[in-house]
C-alpha cells in the first residue's frame, strides 16, 4: 500500500476538476494516478455537510410557516370584522 502524500494544491485541483469542471471521479483518478477512494474522501472534505444544508432549509421552512400563520390569523380577524359589519348594516337597513 502506497503512503504517497499529495500537496494541498494538488488535492484542490483534483477536487476542482470533479466539482467545477464536471469530470467523473474515475476519469480524474485514472488521469492523475490517484485512487478513487482518496478522491472521494477529498471531495467529501470540501463539500458542505448535508446536515448544515438541511438545518438551514428547516429554519427557512419554519420561518415561512410562522409568517403564513400570522397572515392567516390577520386574514381571519379581517373576515370576522367584515362579517360583523355586514350584520350591522343588514339590521340598519330594515
| pLDDT tens per residue, range 15-52 | 999 988 999 999 999 999 999 999 999 998 888 767 87
Question: What is the helix (H) or strand (E) element at residue 22, kind and residue range?
Answer: none
Domain ranges of the chain: 8-46, 48-94
Q: What pLDDT sits at residue 68?
A: 98
- The total of other beta-carbon atoms located within 10 Å of residue 81's CB is 10
Q: What is the pTM of this model?
A: 0.49
Amino acid at each position: 500500500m502506497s503512503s504517497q502524500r499529495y500537496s494541498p494544491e494538488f488535492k484542490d485541483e483534483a477536487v476542482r476538476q470533479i466539482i467545477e469542471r464536471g469530470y467523473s471521479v474515475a476519469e480524474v483518478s485514472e488521469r492523475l494516478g490517484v485512487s478513487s477512494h482518496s478522491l472521494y474522501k477529498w471531495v467529501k472534505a470540501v463539500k458542505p455537510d448535508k446536515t448544515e444544508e438541511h438545518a438551514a432549509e428547516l429554519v427557512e421552512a419554519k420561518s415561512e410557516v410562522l409568517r403564513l400563520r400570522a397572515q392567516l390569523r390577520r386574514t381571519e380577524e379581517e373576515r370576522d370584522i367584515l362579517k360583523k359589519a355586514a350584520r350591522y348594516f343588514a339590521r340598519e337597513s330594515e
